Amino acid sequence: MKKLTVATDVGTQVHPDNIRAQVEGAALWGLSLAMYEKATLKDGGIEQTNFDSYTPLRMSQMPEVAVAVIANGEKATGVGEPAVTVVAPAIGNAIFNASGARVRALPITAEAVKGAMKA
């Protein structure tokens, strides 16, 4: 992924730089969850015990993040978490629009897309 664009309706903008920082961080966390992070269970415990086997998004993998802030003048709202939840569905829909393949599990990997295309 080269660029991730996120729009957020914040109501009244209290601190624009903090809003952008919160949304950027949340969007990148969402991207990490969507495409990289995977935890598996074995005998009631998580198998990945360190970052050599649990691989979140790395700095070298981070795309450009563009944040569009919509300030409508209403009551200020939280901006931290909402951007986490929209990234995976957006990526899944983009893949579906491009290929007709629907990936329904995370992380979304090349292997998962290839498998969905064969289904």
Phi, psi of 42 (to 5 degrees): -145, 125
Residues of the chain with pLDDT under 50: none
Report the pLDDT value the prediction gives residue 80, as an integer from 0 to 100. 82
Cβ–Cβ under 8 Å, residues 7 and 63: no
Closest C-alpha among 117, 114, 116 to residue 104: 116
Rounded CA separation 71/68 (Å): 10
- At 30 the three-state DSSP class reads helix
Rounded CA separation 98/101 (Å): 8
Report the pLDDT value the prediction gives residue 102, as an integer from 0 to 100. 97
Rounded CA separation 108/112 (Å): 6
Cβ–Cβ under 8 Å, residues 73 and 11: yes
Report the pLDDT value the prediction gives residue 115, as an integer from 0 to 100. 95
CATH number of residue 90's parent domain = 3.30.365.10
Range of the domain at 20: 3-118
Rounded CA separation 76/12 (Å): 5
How many domains does one find in the chain?
Answer: 1
pLDDT tens-digit series, residues 56-74 = 999 999 999 999 999 999 9
